[in-house]
Amino acid sequence: MSHLPALRLATLLLACDGLAALHLAGLVGDAGALAAAVAVAATWWNEPLRDRVNAVPGLGRGLVLIAAIASALDLGYLASSTLDGLVRLLLFLLLYRLAMRSAVRDLRDVAFLAFFMLVAAAPFTFGVGYLFVFLAFLVLGTWLLMLYHVAVESERAMGRLDPPTAGLGRDLLGLSLGASVATLVITAALFLVIPRIGQAALTLRLHAARMVTGFSDRVQLGSFGEIETDRAVAMRVQIPEQAVVEPERLPNLRWRGVALDTYDGHAWSAARGERSEVWRSSTGQFEIGRLRARGPVLVQEIYLEPFGTDMLFAAPRLLGLSLRANAIVVDDTGGVSVPNAAARFRYIARSELESAASGRGAPLDAATRARFLQLPPLSARVRELARDVTAGTRGARDAAEALTSHLAGRYRYTRVLRRTTALDPVEEFLFVQRSGNCEYFAASLAIMLRTLGIPARVVNGFQRGEWNPYGRYFIVRLLDAHSWVEASVDGEWVSFDPSPRGDTEPGGPPAAVALYLDALRVRWYRYVVSWSLQDQVLAAVRLHQAVLAWRLSAPELRDWRALPRALAVLLAFVALVAVLLVSRRRRPGHAAGARAALPRFYARALWTLGRRGLRPHDGETAREFARRVETAVPACAEPLARLTAAYERVRFGLRPLTLEEAAAVDQSVLELRRRGLALRPQ
């Protein structure tokens, strides 16, 4: 294949690589990516379409004008975000340039458009798949630039586009791979020096990829039923290795989100209580809670997927946060929200986990107590059930535990939700259906606690998820969405979970390969996408500590002086033998290097004579070897003499052979080979 078809092939592959990047980022759907890839492949035979368009005067300019007007309308009115409109414009320009190309420089424009596609996809691609797309672009782009240079120089020198130059040869492709590796090494060095600045381009795409109910200010009972079978990942919660307690052994571990305090008979909602902005403290973190020293402190590094909420999730009780935001919003129920979408992708939370140790806090004031005791008109049998179950209990904690055990032991968990009466949803759950999802269990417990004068609220969040041992983190999916209750006991909010949910994940646990690939994805995001200035400084500090540790252990080398003399002599003898063996092995390598420095035609001549036992001696010059061959084999004297003269001109005269001389030398090598076939080994 000559260099021009190879250049076209590299261009089409580069365009497909850009399409793959857009698809990974979710900017182009499956059908759109497939259609665009087919269109790109079809442009290999672009000449008929280009000729038909050019045959009609003004048709090409008219198409461009129509496309410009359509793009303006798309960007201004039709596109759901600015970036979506720009991506569609990029796709049009790419296909138009491929279909209407007529010169080599048009292929170069396609390479630039593919590069812009990778740039557009970069802020939205957090998986390790982008690494392979980038590596493919690096190799294909380097190969394309080399072929483009060859094509341009051929046009200038020979006046035609298709000279007999190998475009897919091992030399050119190997050179492009080598240049790609060198570029990657330089890029890696710059990566360690330059920190990331965050997902600044997210503002170009304001709409969320999906909206999930259950984590807003108002939640209808049964809303989790839509997502409890969705295996999409909601977040990943990584636990540092320095954790005091093994995370997978922590009981009742949950990730708290939004707290709901108002019930209207059909839905729970969050009243507009006190909300305040919290700014960074002098330590660079957001201080939220006060340490009580009653439970273990758990540090969590959370990677939150965008699923339509601005809430932050963490284990209760939250003490502090570290994230890329200037301020956060904290409500009076402990919920934390961040309007900045880029800041929610990764954050670090510190929580003091709940423990069995009882404590006393400040009692609720009258207004707050009335807020968490609010109830709509209820059926009398709901109140009677709460009193019957808690008869004989002492205190709020015993009553809450009795109600929790009653619901968990006598009611069934199910995701199949259906209404068969016009009763209040909670009343129907308690006395008719006697089965429901976690929301019905939590709502029933909170209502019955309030009928007993115990302040309570419903909390929506997630269960712990599945532990990934390869990355030391929990994989929390949408199907792990969960509701439980927080009740005020002795002035403190304590969690109670009445839902007998158990393990309801469909399909069983993921395979080890899936867990390993997911851990690789997290490492890619953590150490590539989200590499920050703080990480850069920490890496430098760790390197400095490692150097200091090595310097402190260096004096231990003095212990070698205490070795027995016989053992020291033996080690010295072994080292001397090793040096001698290495030096002997290197001599043939030097000889091979010397032979490699010979002109190719003379090396072929020596190989032909060597097969018959005629080889130069050490220290023997080319002329001396030629005279020895003349004496031993007179038939080979004439062609070898011509080759020896050419060798001396090239090797010592530093003058390359002309085309006529090169042809004559090749003829002499063939003649020497023909005459050498009649020789017998010496």
With a cut of 60, say whether residue 646 has pLDDT above it: yes
589 or 230, greater pLDDT: 230
The arithmetic mean of pLDDT across residues 470-495, rounded, is 91
446 or 568, greater pLDDT: 446
Contact 110, 94 (CB under 8 A): yes
Q: Looking at residue 391, what is its pLDDT? A: 93
Q: Looking at residue 3, what is its pLDDT? A: 64
Q: Looking at residue 490, what is its pLDDT? A: 87
With a cut of 80, say whether residue 195 has pLDDT above it: no
Q: Looking at residue 589, what is its pLDDT? A: 43
DSSP string, 7-30: HHHHHHHHHHHHHHHHHHTTSS-H
The arithmetic mean of pLDDT across residues 104-131, rounded, is 79
Q: Which range among 38-42, 218-222, 337-341, 616-620 has the greatest average pLDDT?
A: 38-42
The arithmetic mean of pLDDT across residues 629-657, rounded, is 83
- Domains of the chain by residue range: 3-203, 218-525, 598-676
Q: Looking at residue 208, what is its pLDDT? A: 46
Stated as kind and residue range, the H or E segment containing 568 is helix 565-596
The arithmetic mean of pLDDT across residues 581-610, rounded, is 65
With a cut of 60, say whether residue 193 has pLDDT above it: no
Query: Rounded to whole angstroms, how far apart are CA atoms 667 and 639?
Result: 9
**Window from 34-48, 127-141, 360-374 with minimum mean pLDDT:** 127-141
Q: Looking at residue 137, what is its pLDDT? A: 87
Q: Which range among 125-129, 481-485, 601-605, 633-637 has the greatest average pLDDT?
A: 481-485
The first and second tokens of residue 120, run together, are 């557009």
With a cut of 80, say whether residue 254 has pLDDT above it: yes
Query: Rounded to whole angstroms, how far apart are CA atoms 507 and 515?
Result: 15
Residue type, 334: G
| Percent of the chain whose pLDDT exceeds 90 | 21
Predicted TM-score (pTM) of this structure: 0.61
With a cut of 90, say whether residue 540 has pLDDT above it: no
Query: Rounded to whole angstroms, how far apart are CA atoms 79 and 87?
Result: 10
- pLDDT by residue (tens digit) across 430-476? 999 999 888 899 999 999 999 999 999 999 999 999 999 888 899 99
Tokens 């003004």 — which residue?
58
Q: Looking at residue 491, what is its pLDDT? A: 85
Q: Looking at residue 588, what is its pLDDT? A: 45
The arithmetic mean of pLDDT across residues 192-218, rounded, is 54
What stretches of 103-204 adopt beta strand conformation (E)? none
Q: Looking at residue 532, what is its pLDDT? A: 62
Query: Rounded to whole angstroms, how far apart are CA atoms 331 and 341?
Result: 19
Burial classification of residue 292, based on how many CB atoms lie within 10 Å of its CB (0-12 exposed, 13-18 middle, 19 or more buried):
middle
With a cut of 70, say whether residue 536 has pLDDT above it: no
589 or 416, greater pLDDT: 416
485 or 664, greater pLDDT: 485
Kindly indicate the confidence band of residue 199, based on its pLDDT and cuts at 50, 70 and 90: very low
Query: Rounded to whole angstroms, how far apart are CA atoms 481 and 438?
Result: 9
- pLDDT by residue (tens digit) across 259-294? 999 998 888 988 766 888 898 887 778 999 888 877
Query: Rounded to whole angstroms, how far apart are CA atoms 273 and 91?
Result: 48
C-alpha pair distances (Å), 448 with each of 59, 66, 403, 422, 453: 75, 66, 8, 20, 9
Per-residue HEC secondary structure of 407-422 comes to HHHHCEECCCCCCCCC
Q: Looking at residue 504, what is its pLDDT? A: 47
651 or 91, greater pLDDT: 91
Residue 471: other Cβ atoms inside 10 A: 20
Kindly indicate the confidence band of residue 109, based on its pLDDT and cuts at 50, 70 and 90: confident
C-alpha pair distances (Å), 14 with each of 113, 125, 404: 10, 18, 60
Q: Looking at residue 680, what is its pLDDT? A: 52
Query: Rounded to whole angstroms, how far apart are CA atoms 384 and 40?
Result: 72
Q: Looking at residue 621, what is its pLDDT? A: 87
b or e along 522-560 (b: 16 or more beta carbons within 10 Å of the residue's beta carbon)? bebbbeebbbeeeebeeeeeeeeeeeeeeeeeeeeeeee
Kindly indicate the confidence band of residue 534, based on its pLDDT and cuts at 50, 70 and 90: low
**Window from 425-429, 445-449, 628-632 with minimum mean pLDDT:** 628-632
Query: Rounded to whole angstroms, how far apart are CA atoms 60 and 57?
Result: 8
My answer on whether omega of the bond before 254 falls inside 30° of 0, hence cis, is no
- Enumerate the β-bridge partners of residue 327: 279
Q: Which residues contact 506 (CB under 8 A, 6 or more apart)?
A: 229, 231, 479
| Percent of the chain whose pLDDT exceeds 70 | 79
**Window from 59-73, 154-168, 550-564, 606-620 with minimum mean pLDDT:** 154-168
Q: Looking at residue 206, what is its pLDDT? A: 46
The arithmetic mean of pLDDT across residues 542-552, rounded, is 69
Stated as kind and residue range, the H or E segment containing 299 is strand 297-304
Contact 665, 657 (CB under 8 A): yes
Determine phi and psi for 241, rounding to 5 degrees.
-70, -20
Q: Looking at residue 136, what is its pLDDT? A: 87
Helix residue ranges, H only, 480-564: 512-524, 533-553
With a cut of 90, say whether residue 405 has pLDDT above it: yes
455 or 250, greater pLDDT: 455
**Residue among 239, 291, 335, 16 at smallest CA distance from 144:** 16
Kindly indicate the confidence band of residue 203, based on its pLDDT and cuts at 50, 70 and 90: very low
141, 146, 147, 149: CA torsion to nearest 10 = 120
**Window from 13-22, 339-348, 653-662 with minimum mean pLDDT:** 653-662
Q: Which residues contact 209 (CB under 8 A, 6 or more apart)?
A: 26, 306, 307
With a cut of 60, say whether residue 591 has pLDDT above it: no
Q: Looking at residue 497, what is its pLDDT? A: 94
Query: Rounded to whole angstroms, how far apart are CA atoms 226 and 634?
Result: 95
pLDDT, mean over the chain: 79
Residue type, 559: D
Query: Rounded to whole angstroms, how far apart are CA atoms 5 and 48?
Result: 17
With a cut of 50, say whether residue 161 has pLDDT above it: no
With a cut of 90, say whether residue 372 has pLDDT above it: yes
With a cut of 90, say whether residue 564 has pLDDT above it: no
- pLDDT by residue (tens digit) across 516-527? 888 887 877 777
Taking CA 529 as the corner, what is the angle to CA 523 and CA 532, rounded to the nearest 5 degrees?
A: 100
Q: Looking at residue 165, what is its pLDDT? A: 44
Q: Looking at residue 221, what is its pLDDT? A: 81
